[in-house]
C-alpha cells in the first residue's frame, strides 16, 4: 500500500485499479502516452 499513510477504505478500489493499470501498462513512457491520449479524448467531448 502507500508507504506512510495507507489508503482510505473509500478510495481503495481506485488505488487497486491504478496499481493494476501500472502493472499491466508497460513502461512509464507507455503509461504517459496513454494518459495523454485519455486527456485528449476527454477534451474533445
Q: What are the Cα distances from residue 36, in Å, to 7, 11, 28, 30, 39?
A: 26, 23, 12, 10, 5
Q: What is the mean pLDDT of residues 41-45?
A: 93
**Calpha distance 10→29 (Å, rounded):** 30
5-31 pLDDT per residue, tens? 788 889 889 988 988 998 998 999 999
**Calpha distance 28→5 (Å, rounded):** 24
Give residue 34's pLDDT.
Answer: 94
What is the DSSP track for 1-45? --SSS---GGGHHHHHHHHHHHHHH-SHHHHHHHHHHHHHHHHH-
Amino acid at each position: 500500500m502507500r508507504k506512510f499513510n495507507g489508503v482510505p477504505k473509500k478510495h481503495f478500489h481506485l488505488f487497486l485499479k491504478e496499481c493494476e493499470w501500472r502493472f499491466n501498462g508497460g513502461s512509464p513512457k507507455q503509461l504517459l502516452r496513454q494518459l495523454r491520449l485519455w486527456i485528449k479524448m476527454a477534451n474533445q467531448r
